[in-house]
Chains A and B, each alone.
Chain A
Amino acid sequence: MKGEKVQSKTGKIVSTVIMWLLLIIFIMPFFIVIVDSFKSNAEIMENPLNLTGHPTMNNFVEAFVRMNYPSAFCNTFVITLLSVFLITIFSAMTAYFIVRSKSRVGTVIFYALVASMMLPFQAIMIPLVSIYGHIGLLSNRATLIFMYVGFGCGMAVFIFHGFIKTGIPVSLEEAAKIDGANMIQIFFKIILPLLKPVIATVVVLDVLWIWNDYLLPSLVLSQPWQLTMPLSTYSFAGQMSINFGPLIASLLLTMLPVLIIYIFLQRFIIEGIVAGSVKN
């Protein structure tokens, strides 16, 4: 017994050391980005790992202006916000319909949505571009939001469906009905507030996806003023090639909003991810 305890103590030290070493390797790229974004290009070429003696903000200024940061940020923000809002509302309503109506229509919709989750985006991207290009709806931010709702509702309905089915008693709605509430009031005043924990999961998963998505916006958006942050970062990087200073500053600028939010909401975000991928 005694021997085992000692062993587990050394074991603990070993695992702590391994853990922190791994962490340093994991975090290294971010460290390099932060350090190098304040250096001139010549300093980066000379030694990308040391701290600079003369930090400069020039990289940030150049990146900020040339990648059109304010416009890219606003586009990403508005597109993510509206898409996630619409996905959440529509999906919660549909899931509620599916659970409560108990009709065959509902079941068919549910399984069509679930099946769509297996579909890789690449399998529909070409016809999508072709169809929407013909109608002349490409190069339009509203179309992009519309598409995100289409792609996002499968998983969201699935998550809401599971929660409503097991977590929300019918008796509540029956009581509200007796009190004279109609179905819209019942949903928005009683059901939706009860869905808060799942809404958090859906929002976390969808925000991370839409905020960082590249392929779909690259197919839909084309004008410089429409670009989202991944798009403008990528095109800016293409112009910079070996002008590393501004390039790295632009990467840091792109990461910054998410990292700041993560510092405050990390617990919440990780719990959302766990709920989204495990509880199903």
Chain B
Amino acid sequence: MSGGRKPVCCLTILLKYFKKRVRCRPSKRCNMKRRKNFNLTFFLIFALPTLIIFTLVIVVPFIYGLFMSFTNTNGMSGNSWVGFSNYAAVFHDSTFWNSFIVTIEYVVACVVLTNILAFIIAYLVTSGIKGQNFLRAAFFTPNLIGGIVLGLIWNFIFRQVLVNVGTAYSIPIFQETWLADPVKALWTLIIVTVWQMSGYMMIIYIAGFTGISQDVLEAAEIDGCTNFQKVTKIEMPLMVPSFIICLFLTLSRCFMVYDTNISLTKGEPFGSTVLISLNIYREAFNNNNYAKGQAEAFLLFIIIAALSVTQVYIGKKMEVEQ
């Protein structure tokens, strides 16, 4: 998914840029110097191809999408302006709200569990046990494989393997497939997502752990720090940047999950696990309601943009000066 790979700092950089611009403006020399350097051939050869593709693939659809959400288009016909009525329809749509609430539950559970698990694994892996590189590589493996295949594997496990184990050893919780129960089906999605993403986040936390200078830890030891204090009072504050990266990555990835959703639960049972992405897809392509689907998609965009802004803001406030 294109969404999963976003570096956290894009917003920080945008902010820096605006500050710089404000600083630059009063001095005319600054602008003059910039203009002088502009070389048209350089631009045409090096930047234009990317610019054209980027415009055709992202900018134009984005603007057209904004326009679409204010019309009554169904993809083929109908392009009359209907104002905010699509957005109003979305707000009154119980299917959308259900899927929105399910998505929130899913995202909260995944983000919390993934980060806790990833942090613990990273801590254990870096604690100096044998086979560090092997463990790191093994825990990362699920990330190499797409959501479709992972979802199908786990679908088989929940549908067949666990039921089989449950009946063989009479473990009541596994005797019936989790996929048939609305609450447990959501948990299957959470389990698979946590299983997959904690390996990725572990890698980022490991980089955080290894980035902490050994001197600080030794100093703490001399001062009589216990292991637990060392983790909570020294390593965790120093790893705030890693936490921010991981939180942002897990949040935005979870909000956009689609592959695992269709291959693991297909939104079943009774539409109880239709996450927001799948809901948008169905609204647009199954119900042929492009305009309303697009309105929902823009709400998703606003959520993600708002999340990134808050997160960067909080992150900047919390960052410990190293």
Interface residues of A (CB under 8 A from B): 8, 11-12, 15-16, 18-19, 22-23, 26-27, 29-30, 32-33, 44-45, 47-49, 90-91, 93-94, 96-98, 100-107, 109, 111-131, 133, 146-147, 149-155, 157-159, 183-184, 187, 205, 208-209, 211-216, 230, 233-234, 237, 244, 247-248, 251, 254-255, 258-259, 262, 266-267, 269-270, 273-274, 276-278, 280
Complex interface residues of chain B between 112 and 147 (CB less than 8 A to chain A): 121, 124-125, 127-130, 133, 135-147
Closest to A48 in B: B161
Is the C-beta of B10 less than 8 angstroms from some C-beta in chain A? Answer: yes
In the complex, what's the smallest C-beta–C-beta distance from B87 to chain A, in angstroms? 14
Closest to A128 in B: B61
Complexed CA–CA distance, A79 and B75 (Å): 27
Complexed CA–CA distance, A22 and B259 (Å): 25
Interface residues of B (CB under 8 A from A): 1-11, 13-14, 17, 31, 33-35, 37-39, 41-43, 45-47, 49-51, 53-54, 56-62, 64-65, 68, 73, 75, 121, 124-125, 127-130, 133, 135-149, 152-154, 156-157, 160-161, 164-165, 168, 195, 199-200, 203-204, 207-208, 227, 242, 245, 249, 252, 255-256, 258-259, 262-263, 277, 280-281, 284-285, 290, 293-294, 297-298, 300-301, 304-305, 308
Residues of B within 8 A of A127 (CB): 61-62, 64-65, 68, 294
Q: Can you name 13 A-B residue pairings with CB atoms under 8 Å?
A: A97-B42, A104-B34, A107-B17, A109-B47, A122-B281, A126-B290, A133-B75, A183-B45, A214-B148, A234-B263, A248-B153, A266-B140, A269-B144
Complexed CA–CA distance, A100 and B244 (Å): 31
Pick the most buried of A127, A255, A273, A278: most chain B CB atoms within 10 A of its CB.
A127
Closest to B7 in A: A280
- Summarize A's interface: helix, strand, loop or mixed: helix
12 further A-B pairs in the complex, CB-CB below 8 A; given A19-B124, A126-B293: A15-B127, A19-B121, A118-B11, A120-B256, A126-B290, A209-B4, A212-B144, A230-B149, A262-B144, A269-B144, A276-B5, A278-B242
Pick the most buried of B42, B164, B300: most chain A CB atoms within 10 A of its CB.
B42
Contact A150 B161 (CB under 8 A): no
Q: Looking at the complex, which one of A109, A151, A258 makes contact with B51 (CB distance below 8 Å)?
A: A109
Contact B57 A212 (CB under 8 A): no
Contact B17 A149 (CB under 8 A): no
- Summarize B's interface: helix, strand, loop or mixed: helix
Contact A93 B45 (CB under 8 A): yes
Contact B34 A122 (CB under 8 A): no
